[in-house]
Amino acid sequence: RGNKKITGLSKGPNVEHWNKCLKPYLDEGTTWGSLPWYVGETYVYHRLLEASGFWDKGSKGEGLDIFAKEKKEALDLAMPQVEARAAVCAAAEGKWSGAEARAMLLMSLWGNQ
């Protein structure tokens, strides 16, 4: 549910900086569902890391990437495309036209959905 008001973060190496950045939203009583997209995505991810014990010394979740399995599966599926684009980049090294650079950038951005 996106209608719960956000609260300050409590864990992590840069928690003070995070809370400073979140202050305007905290002061307004913003819900996490109404945060700007990138702020909301990173806020929820930070909360997941807190909940999983990522920063808790000695915990089962310390340093654990809770999305590692999904990331590996996605990378494994994408490897043929990654290798093909890497070959194009290697072959074009030092001789990219503006159009080729733009095409590669757009492919990179599309793949980062």
43 phi/psi in degrees, rounded to 5: -60, -50
- pLDDT, position 107: 74
Q: How far apart are CA 34 and CA 71, in angstroms?
A: 27
pTM to 2 decimal places: 0.66
Q: What is the mean pLDDT of residues 57-77?
A: 92
What one-character-per-residue DSSP string does 44-66 give?
Answer: HHHHHHHHHTTTSTTSTTTT--T
* Tens-digit pLDDT profile for residues 68-83: 999 899 889 989 988 8
How is the chain split into domains, by residue range?
Answer: 1-66, 68-111
Helix axes 37-52, 15-28, angle to 10 degrees: 120
